[in-house]
Structures are given as structure tokens and as C-alpha cells.
Amino acid sequence: MIKGIYSSASGLISATDIQDIVSNNLANIDTYGFKKDNAITQSFASMLMQRLEGGERYNIGPAGTGVRTSTTYTDLSQGPMKYTGGQHDYAIMGPGFFVVETPQGNRYTRNGVFAPDEEGNLVNGDGHRLLARDWNPVSAADAHPENILVVDFPEPQNLGKEGYTLWNESEESGEAQEVPGAVQRGYLEEANVSAIGEMTRMIRAVRLYEAGQKAVQVQDETLGRAVNDVGRTT
């Protein structure tokens, strides 16, 4: 009975993880360059249940022992393109990332919203300077799509997510390599998040949570009766 409660509780935790991920995706649906996250759930090893009858053991069948969120990953698929006509708005068509200079080192983004700073260089919303193909800051006065640096990685799915639209390089991702990215001026890449799809996932996760919650409640009530009523003398 206690094992059953633990198994059901693991489902509650997994459903909560999914709800958190979906909530974050929905909260950033209007964030340019945002890439949605997904969760992968995995079952724990099952147990073989048996019954004892007449001194002999008979197999009943396997019993699940719960689930867990084994990992989360970022979906790097292309988001919809939105025409803005902005002189300093840029979007990458296809794979790759813009490179911005931060105090912690170079970081990578698909968010193409830039504006001139006091020194005349293009910077993102956090004031990080956009880099050109010569790895120097891009001057707003002579910015051209073909001069903007675009890089990609051998294993981009292993980049570290930092903030909403920034990634950092990792051992698993490999080193940044310049690629011939097709940069479009006057466009921005919207988040690759479908409101309908995420709401469907949210509803499914809520229902899973409610089912797990009911299972815990039923088992708790049954355990309470076993402790308090079984063997009671009248």
C-alpha cells in the first residue's frame, strides 16, 4: 500500500514538472527567438507481483512503480517569421545563432531585436553588443545582413540555456563555427510555441495530476481503514 502511494506521488511530481515547463512556454509566446522546452518522462522498473496459495507462488503480473521526468530538452525548430520593417530587426532563416558579447563571454541568441547604443553599436535589450563576421561589434551606421556573424554548433541541442533567449557553449555542444546563415533585415523570428498545442499539453498534465491525486487519496483512505478497523474487536 505504501509503495502504491509512492508510485502515485511520483506521477504527481512528473505532472507538476510538465505544468511548469508548459507555463514557461506560454509565458514566452511573445518573446522573439524563444525556443520551447519539452519534457521526457520515463517509467521506473516494474515489479512482478505474485500470490501465495497452498504454499505455491503464482504470478499475477507486472506492477508499475511510478514515473519520473528523466530530462528536458529545447526544441530548436524554426519559429514563424514576422515582418516588422525595422531597420535593426533581423531574423535568421534556417539554423544558426547571432553572437552577442557579454561580461561572461560570448552568448548566442535567435532574438534579432537590436538598437544602437551610445557608441553607435547594435545591442540587444540587455545592452550586449552584436558581433560581425570579423568578431567585432556591429556598427549601426553600416550594418548589413551579410556582415552579421551567424554561428552554429556540432550538437546545438546541448547548448546551455541562459535566460530567456540566450545560450552558452558547452563541452557537449562543441565549439561555435561560422555558417553562411541567411539573415533577413526587417523580420523577427517569433517563438516556436503553439498556444493551442501548449494548452492541450497543460490540460493533459492537469488531468494526470488529478488522477494521481485521486489515487493517493484512495490508497490513503484504504490504509487508514486497514490500520484503524482491521482486527478491531467488537
CA distances from 150 to 87, 93, 130, 143, 198 (A): 18, 11, 10, 14, 30
pLDDT at residue number 71: 77
pLDDT at residue number 226: 65
How far is the C-alpha of 218 from the C-alpha of 31, rounded, in Å?
43
C-alpha cell, 92: 535568421
Give the chain as a 3 state SS string.
CHHHHHHHHHHHHHHHHHHHHHHHHHHCCCCCCCCCEEEEEEECCCEEEEEEECCEEEEEEEECCCEEEEEEEECCCCCCEEECCCCCEEEEECCCEEEEEECCEEEEECCCECEECCCCEEECCCCCEEEECCCCECEHHHCCHHHECEEECCCHHHCEEECCCEEECCCCCCCCEECCCEEEECEEECCCCCHHHHHHHHHHHHHHHHHHHHHHHHHHHHHHHHHHCCCCCC
Amino acid at 116: P
pLDDT at residue number 65: 55
CA distances from 135 to 27, 67, 117, 127, 147 (A): 33, 46, 18, 17, 10
Q: What is the pTM of this model?
A: 0.78
pLDDT at residue number 66: 58
The residue ranges of the chain whose pLDDT is under 50 are: 1
pLDDT at residue number 185: 96
